[in-house]
């Protein structure tokens, strides 16, 4: 990300992007592509079976599925942390965002230095990474907490810092591994708003893992349902609601109806 581009981003923040679910983005090459990916761990656990799907730029895809169905494995394969047993994954890993279940902040670094970390490992010069970190901190609403250490932060603030840390690389693909599972309901809803906000500003390709159907529907342009182990994609729902999505959307009949259908599929996936 260059200096000029990022100022552009800041300037256009208030005008909502058109719904990213449009033909233009669909026709281009996918930002992340899984093709017949299977995963068998050395201990014989069959985690994924013949999984195929694409995520395009401007798409936010959420995967829901029963516990232990290999959802997290999906992200570990996408990021290259684990190699797949067979099949292929196409993704540009040079600026991959990855938010883990835990905030995984380094306890000895304050918020600012934590947010800088990914840029630092990437070898970005100090002034540039500090500027990006400041910007990311502001984006996730942590301004004023730069010099706090992780032990002084609440769970929600830690997740914000974790989000900001991935943002400094201005990722074109953003992976979220059940990031808000451990925070309370209200904080989770706030953080959901934050993610949507970031998605609209940055237009990355998002792949989000969660247990929560309502979180999945609220955030995504598409929801994929995975079966129990070995994980397979068993259903693919388009989410038609326009962004930005107000909190009240969660109580709309259409929202409930879609959630119900996904829930039904999920129950089928369990058996």
Partner 1 sequence: MTMTAKAIALTPPDVALDLVGPDAKVRDRRKFEISRVLGPPIVLILFVAFWQYMHESGLRAWFDKPGFLLPSPVTVVNDSFVKGLARGKLLNGVKWTAVVSLVGLGITIVLGMVLAIVMAQARWVERSFYPYLVALQAIPILAVVPIILSVFGTGMQPRLFVCVMIAFFPIVTNTLFGLQSADAGQHDLFTLRGASRWTRLWKLQVPAALPAVFTGFRISAGLSVIGAVVGEQFFRGGDKPGIGIVMEGYRQKNIYPQVYGGLILAAGLGIWFFLVFGRLSRRVVGHWYEASRKPS
What does the binding site for partner 1 look like in residue numbers (CB under 8 A)?
Answer: 79-81, 96, 98, 100-102, 104, 106-109, 117-118, 120-122, 141-145, 148-154, 156-157, 187, 190
Backbone angles phi, psi at 144, to 5 degrees: 100, -15
Identify the CA nearest to 36 among candidates 23, 49, 21: 49
- Comparing CB distances to partner 1, the nearer of 117 and 235 is 117
Question: Which 8-state DSSP code applies to residue 247?
Answer: G
We find the least distance from the C-beta atom of residue 257 to partner 1, in angstroms, to be: 31
**What's the CA gap between 19 and 221, in Å, rounded?**
9
Angle at 162 between CA 236 and CA 125, to 5 degrees: 115
We find the least distance from the C-beta atom of residue 49 to partner 1, in angstroms, to be: 24
**What's the CA gap between 59 and 266, in Å, rounded?**
22
- Comparing CB distances to partner 1, the nearer of 96 and 262 is 96
We find the least distance from the C-beta atom of residue 268 to partner 1, in angstroms, to be: 33
We find the least distance from the C-beta atom of residue 179 to partner 1, in angstroms, to be: 12
**What's the CA gap between 84 and 37, in Å, rounded?**
7
**What's the CA gap between 181 and 212, in Å, rounded?**
9
**What's the CA gap between 183 and 141, in Å, rounded?**
17
- Comparing CB distances to partner 1, the nearer of 124 and 224 is 124
- What is the three-class DSSP state of 10? helix
We find the least distance from the C-beta atom of residue 138 to partner 1, in angstroms, to be: 11
- Comparing CB distances to partner 1, the nearer of 139 and 266 is 139
We find the least distance from the C-beta atom of residue 113 to partner 1, in angstroms, to be: 10
Identify the CA nearest to 70 among candidates 89, 102, 104, 45: 45
- Comparing CB distances to partner 1, the nearer of 5 and 151 is 151
- Comparing CB distances to partner 1, the nearer of 65 and 150 is 150
């Amino acid at each position: 990300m260059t200096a000029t581009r990022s100022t552009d981003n800041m300037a256009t923040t208030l005008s909502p992007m058109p719904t990213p679910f449009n033909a233009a983005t669909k026709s281009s090459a996918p930002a992340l592509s899984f093709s017949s990916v299977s995963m068998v761990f050395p201990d014989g656990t069959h985690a994924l079976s013949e999984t195929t799907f694409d995520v395009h730029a401007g798409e936010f895809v959420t995967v829901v599925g029963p516990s232990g169905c290999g959802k997290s494995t999906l992200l570990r394969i996408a990021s290259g942390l684990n190699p797949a047993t067979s099949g292929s994954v196409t993704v540009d890993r040079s600026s991959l965002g990855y938010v883990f279940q835990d905030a995984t902040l380094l306890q000895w670094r304050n918020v600012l230095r934590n947010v800088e970390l990914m840029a630092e490992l990437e070898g970005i010069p100090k002034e540039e990474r500090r500027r990006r970190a400041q910007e990311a901190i502001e984006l996730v609403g942590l301004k004023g907490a730069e010099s706090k250490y992780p032990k002084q932060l609440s769970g929600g603030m830690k997740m914000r810092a974790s989000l900001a840390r991935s943002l400094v690389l201005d990722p074109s693909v953003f992976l979220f591994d059940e990031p808000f599972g451990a925070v309370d309901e209200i904080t989770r809803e706030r953080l959901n708003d934050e993610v949507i906000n970031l998605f609209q500003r940055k237009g990355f390709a998002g792949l989000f893992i969660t247990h929560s159907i309502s979180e999945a529907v609220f955030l995504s342009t598409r929801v994929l349902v995975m079966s129990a182990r070995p994980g397979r994609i068993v259903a693919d729902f388009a989410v038609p609601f326009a962004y930005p999505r107000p909190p009240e959307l969660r109580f709309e009949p259409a929202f409930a109806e879609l959630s119900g259908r996904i829930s039904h599929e999920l129950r089928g996936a369990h058996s």
